[in-house]
Amino acid sequence: MTLCKGTSMLGRGVKRKWSSLEELGANLVLDTPVMGDNEGPSKPDTNHLQQRQLVLGLCLEKLQRYQAGMELSLRRSVLLVNTLKQIQEEMRSDSCLFVDDMSVTCPGCVEEETILPLDSEFSSQQVDGSSDQHKPPPAAAISAFGDAVGYLSDLALDDIFEDIDTSMYESSDLPSAWAAGPSWPLSVSLWPDEDLKLRTSSHSSTGGLQSCLTDLNELDHIMEILVKS
């Protein structure tokens, strides 16, 4: 299976060039409109998983890229995040399915003992010889994806946003959001509460952390003036 050239699953702000639809048409085998093909588990599932992987990567890339200094379109961000959530839900339910019902396995997967390390699923540019080799890759992929839910949150936190200046988005919500669990670590930084920022700026006290920072800044400022005079 090949992805488009230059697709990185969790890109670090690499700007992808506009590619004409014809180019994409040649490379993308994944434009399958209908998910309801019921020929059997193997081919449509493969296609579906491949597409899901691609869309997941694109989603993250778009969300990350979009944050870098440009004004957020809330509609676009919400749509991207909802798509991401949908994929995540699907991944989670797939992994649950695999874990809960051990008797249900995809044909050809039973002998597959090794669970693919996550690195090979996520960070490699070419995903992936391993998928091609097994008849239905899902089994290995599913278990990998199952772990990925937890991994994804850590990954999202550390790797995706490490070079993004998130100082703008500091708010009292932030600590609780990160602590809220792996289910949705990305949301807070995507659309900070604009009203909160406005209110904080006018010094009405909301959010302990933010007002503390404001007070400290003021204190510093006053100290500076006193020292100079």
Q: For binding to another protein (CB under 8 A), which residues are involved?
A: 4, 18-19, 21-22, 24-25, 28, 30-36, 51-52, 54-55, 58, 62, 71, 73-76, 78-79, 81-83, 86-87, 168, 173, 177, 180, 184, 187-188, 191-195, 197-198, 201
Q: Give the nearer residue to another protein in terms of CB position, either 70 or 102.
A: 70
Nearer to another protein, 54 or 152 (CB): 54
CB of 172 vs another protein, minimal distance in Å: 12
> What's the rounded Cα separation, in Å, for the pair 155 and 126?
19
Q: Smallest gap, in angstroms, from Cβ of residue 117 to another protein?
A: 26
DSSP 167: G
DSSP state of 110: T
**Of 87 and 118, which has the nearer Cβ to another protein?**
87
CA distance 226 to 229: 5
Nearest residue (CB) to another protein, 67 versus 134: 67
CA atoms within 13 A on the CB side of 168: 14
**Radius of gyration of the chain, Cα coordinates, nearest whole angstrom:** 22
Quote the CA–CA distance of 106 and 6 in Å, as a whole number: 31
